Chains A and B, each alone.
Chain A
Amino acid sequence: MTIRTLMTTAAALSALAAPAMADINIGASLAETGPAAFLGDPEAKTLRMEVDKINAAGGINGEQINLIIYDDGGDANKAKTFATRLVEDDEVVAVIGGTTTGPTMAMIPVFEDAEIPFISLAGAVEIIEPVNPWVFKTPHTDRMACEKIFADMKAQGFSKVGMISGSDGFGKSMQAQCKGVAEAAGVEIVADEVYGPQDADMTPQLTNIKGSGAEAILNSGMGQGPAVVTRNHTQLAIDAPLYQSHGVASKQFIELAGTEAAEGVRLPAAALLVADQLADDNPQKPVVQGYRDEYEAETGEDVSTFGGHAYDALYILKAAIEKAGSTEPAAIRDALEQTTGFVGTAGEVNYTPEDHLGLTLDAFEMLEIKDGEWTIVAE
């Protein structure tokens, strides 16, 4: 009893004493609330959990991490204010965050001005193209999902694609990216249909696609729309196989669409979702299994790829600070740019001065739904 009390006291004291030491201040501005909370919440939880773990293991280069997270609610104006606060008031050496593209783009000028390295967790290509020396990102882009899907279609011998897209931000962005890379990928878009994210029936659009001579159908969208498309696709008995995007990569999608309708649907997804099915020699396997188990034990919630993006960002940053052997923002930035062979939840990351995303198409696994379960398609 006394020993336990002593230990608790010691732990409490060390926790109190921690800020007095030379800490490494790492900032984050995430959408923990608001419409993008389903992305920002797992990101924030992941960062808190992992920083505690790193600190308990002795921190980085013997220094403890002092993590400062602000909730910008996904609002670009608020994010910019918090970015200023992180730089001016909290004197951070690096920043993770920007859950969505708007806040990320609004924050970039602040970090560029202050010369602070910034790792974004948002999807858009614009964040890293053209390359800004101070800006990196961890999530794969929509364009890569398109390329992955088109490559699989080509491998199956399909070259005429019918597209059906949601009119929400995700669906629109991916629609534009897919149309942009179709020609380079060697496929032709023969139909381009759109539906509202809340629509309950997509048979008219699918009938049009059916009549267009499409050999395969690609649905870019997230939420309930893709589940309706999947059901209608089965109801209309369309022969052309259906491809979904990474936006539906959650168990909920299969439940919504129904096991029967979802049978045979293909989609690209991060390895995190199929951690146990990865080959044993896949270097990602221990990483994604470890993170998933830890996250699910800590929070009691299903793991998501979004938290994985934050996980990757934090450990890429940790490795860079260790490599730089310094907490100077400029030194960290240089080390970040030299990140090679980092294995994270999204894949193997290799940053170069020209590439601040550092992922290849291998970052996605091509999945097929069989009997209501994800299975990896052998390539």
Chain B
Amino acid sequence: MRLSHKTATLLVLIPLIVLAPIFFPSNFYYRVGSLIFINGLAVTGMVILIGYAGQISLGHAGFAGIGAYSCALMPVHWGIPPVAAAVLGAVISALLAWLVGRPILRLKGYYLAVATLGFGILVYMVLTNETWLTGGPDGMSVNDSGLRDMAEAVGIDLKNSQFWYWMCAIVLVIGVWLAMNLQDSPTGRALRAVHGSEVAARTVGVDVARYKLQAFVISAVYASVAGSMVALQNEFVTPDVAGYMHSIEWVTMTVLGGAGSVLGAIFGAAILTTLPQVLTAFAEYEQLLLGLIMMLVMIFMRDGLLPSIMRRIRGKDE
């Protein structure tokens, strides 16, 4: 009997998340874990866009910025609770992605890359320059979400980093579950058809523009929620959250781990989130090493780390 792709992914992911803390020597590892999950969530969205639909975006941190600043601004100005603000932020991101995506997704390849890059930088510049609203480059604080207090009220008393480890884990698992469902749905099949060949997809009656836009909007929501999680956990945001380096990091994580597989992309997120912590002793060479790893993976494992390794293991089995 073969497990479905969805069940297999969740069967690997959930035990890993639950069992990992056994090996944590200190609470600091919970913090790194939560960052992996946040990046993992954004990267899951990137898999839908890059892996399923075959489109590229270098501006998704812009949506993370919208998600993050929604959590910071809405509670202060409109008295909306931070968690509800995260949901509203996701809605705004979706609307914006829909608006921006319509013209942008007509572009292909590097034109699309540059257009999305421009979008991300635009968001970053607004967050940096509108000092009266966003606090400018110095950032602004985010009201306590009250989630930890709620957990405490029902008897779950965790340290801050531990709490957010589990919180982010839950959101990630939900995100992955939704993405896997999408993959097996008619939409998912249509997206893969678009990825394979837009002409062929159009010939068999797939509305190419609509499906590309859908993938773009969905991935924007993932990025937005990831941004909100950063804001809620840190209780402080700076425009850096929307910085284009984050957009590029996410694409790198996705491609490194394996753009076609959610688990692979999360694996990529785990590596690239942990590496800077491991390499603190050689901080100057960090970028160099990252670049080197990236190049080697692209040359020798073109499908990404995890799919390539899996194939090698399977190849030996069969």
Does residue B181 face the partner (Cβ distance < 8 Å to A)? no
Q: A105-B138, A113-B160 are in contact. Are A84 and B28 (CB under 8 A)?
A: yes
Subset of 22 A-B contacts with CB under 8 Å: A70-B280, A74-B240, A75-B238, A76-B241, A84-B28, A85-B28, A85-B277, A88-B161, A101-B138, A101-B139, A102-B236, A102-B238, A103-B238, A105-B138, A105-B141, A106-B139, A109-B236, A124-B138, A126-B138, A169-B137, A169-B138, A173-B138
In angstroms, Cα B186 to Cα A169, docked, is: 49
* Pairwise interchain contact B136-A173, C-beta atoms closer than 8 A: yes
Question: How far does the Cβ of A342 sit from chain B's closest Cβ, in whole Å?
Answer: 27
Residues of A48-107 whose CB lies within 8 A of B: 70-71, 74-78, 80-81, 84-85, 87-89, 100-103, 105-106
Knowing A76-B237, A76-B238, say if A89 contacts B139 (CB, 8 Å): no
Smallest beta-carbon distance A106→chain B, Å = 4
Q: Kindly state whether residue B27 has any CB partner on chain A within 8 Å.
A: yes
Q: Smallest Cβ distance from B225 to chain A, in angstroms?
A: 16
A229 to B31, CA, bound (A): 47
Are B283 and A77 in contact (CB-based, < 8 A)? no
Chain B residues near A77 (CB-CB < 8 A): 35, 230, 234, 238, 240-241
Residues of B within 8 Å of A169, CB to CB, are: 128, 136-138
A89 in contact with B234 (CB, 8 Å): no
How many Å lie between the Cα of A88 and that of B276 in the bound state? 17
Tell me whether B26 is interfacial, beta carbon within 8 Å.
Answer: yes
A84 surroundings in chain B (CB, below 8 A):
27-28, 31, 161
**Interface membership of A312, Cβ < 8 A:** no
Interface size class of A (residues with CB under 8 A): 20 to 34
User: How far does the alpha carbon of A80 sit from the alpha carbon of B34 in the complex, in Å?
Assistant: 12
- Chain B residue with minimal CB distance to A85? B28
The yes or no answer to B198 lying at the interface (CB within 8 A) is: no
Name the CB-closest residue of A to B27.
A88
Residue numbers in B under 8 Å from A89 (CB-CB) = 25-26, 28
Q: Which residues of chain B from 6 to 34 have a CB within 8 Å of any chain A CB?
A: 25-28, 31-32
**Which residues of A lie under 8 Å from residue B240 when comparing CB positions?**
74-77, 102
With CB as the reference atom, state the residue of chain B lying closest to A124: B138
- CB-CB nearest in chain B for A74: B240
* Chain A 7-42 near chain B by CB (<8 Å), digits 1 or 0: 000000000000000000000000011000000000
Alpha-carbon distance A109/B236, docked complex (angstroms): 9
How far apart are the CA atoms of A103 and B31 in the complex, in Å? Answer: 16
**What residues of chain A lie closer than 8 Å to B197, measured between beta carbons?**
none
**In contact, B237 and A33 (Cβ under 8 angstroms):** no
Is A234 interfacial (CB 8 A cutoff)? no
- Our pick among A81, A101, A109, A176 for the contact of B35 (Cβ within 8 Å) is A81
Task: A34 to B138: give the CA distance in the assembly, Å.
Answer: 15
With the chains together, A153 CA to B283 CA distance in Å? 46
Complexed CA–CA distance, A167 and B128 (Å): 10
A76-B131 CB under 8 A given contacts A71-B283, A88-B161: no
- Tell whether, in the assembled complex, residue A102 and residue B230 are in contact, meaning their CB atoms are under 8 Å apart: no
Q: Please, how many angstroms separate the alpha-carbon atoms of A76 and B241 in the complex?
A: 9
Q: Which residues of A sit under 8 angstroms from B129, Cβ to Cβ?
A: 167
User: Scoring B residues 229 to 252 as 1 if CB is less than 8 Å from chain A, else 0, what string do you get?
Assistant: 010001111101101000000000
Residues of B within 8 A of A172 (CB): 131, 136
Chain B contact patch, size range: 20 to 34
User: Which of A101, A102, A109, A172 has the most B CB atoms < 10 Å from its CB?
Assistant: A102
- B160 contact set on A, CB distance < 8 A: 113
- Which chain B residues border A80 with CB–CB below 8 Å? 31, 234, 236
Closest to A176 in B: B131
**Chain B residues whose CB sits within 8 angstroms of the CB of A76 once the complex forms:** 139, 234, 236-238, 240-241
Please name all residues of chain B whose beta carbon is closer than 8 Å to the beta carbon of A33 when the two chains form the complex.
283-284
Q: CA–CA, A103 to B139, complex, Å?
A: 9
Interface centre among B141, B230, B238 (most CB of A within 10 A): B238
Tell me which residues across on chain B come within 8 A of A32, comparing CB atoms.
283
Contact with B along A104-119 (1 / 0, CB 8 A): 0110010001000000
Point out which of B136, B138, B235, B280 has the most chain A C-beta atoms below 10 A from its C-beta.
B138
A71 proximity list for chain B (CB < 8 A)? 280, 283
In the bound assembly, the distance between CA atoms of A369 and B147 in angstroms comes to 56
B69 to chain A, nearest CB (A): 13
Chain A residue numbers with a CB within 8 Å of B241 are 76-77
Note all chain B residues with C-beta closer than 8 A to A75.
238, 240, 243
Distance from B313 Cβ to chain A, minimum over Cβ atoms (Å): 33
Interface residues of A in 157-216 (CB under 8 A from B): 167, 169, 172-173, 176
Q: Which residue of B lies closest to A76 (CB)?
A: B238
Q: With A102-B137, A173-B136, A173-B138 in contact, do A88 and B238 touch (Cβ < 8 Å)?
A: no
Taking a contact as CB atoms under 8 Å apart, the answer to whether A106 and B31 are in contact is: no
- Inter-chain CA distance A105–B276, complex, in Å, is 22
8 A Cβ contacts from A111-165 to B: 113, 124, 126
CB distance from A269 to the nearest CB of B (A): 23
Give the top 9 A-B pairs by smallest Cβ distance, nearest first.
A88-B28, A102-B238, A169-B137, A101-B138, A106-B236, A76-B238, A102-B139, A88-B27, A84-B31
Contact with A along B277-289 (1 / 0, CB 8 A): 1001001100000
Q: How far is the CA of A236 from the CA of B136 in the complex (A)?
A: 33
A105–B231 Cα gap in the complex (Å)?
13
Residues of chain B from 122 to 147 with CB closer than 8 A to chain A in the complex: 128-129, 131, 136-139, 141
Say whether B280 contacts A105, CB under 8 Å: no
CB distance from A113 to the nearest CB of B (A): 6
Smallest beta-carbon distance A308→chain B, Å: 21
**What B residues does A78 contact at CB under 8 A?**
276
Give min CB distance, A71 to chain B, whole Å.
4
Instruction: Tell me the nearest residue of chain B to A84, going by C-beta.
Output: B31
Within 8 A of A (CB), among B197-226: none
**Cα separation A205 to B122 with both chains bound (whole Å):** 27
Tell me the complex Cα distance, A166–B236, Å: 26
Given contacts A32-B283, A70-B280, A89-B26, contact A106 B138 (CB under 8 A): no
Q: Give, as a whole number of angstroms, the nearest-CB distance from A131 to chain B.
A: 16
Look across to chain B and name the residue whose beta carbon is closest to the beta carbon of A80. Answer: B234
B28-A109 in contact (CB<8A): no
- In the complex, chain A residues whose CB is within 8 Å of the CB of B131: 172, 176
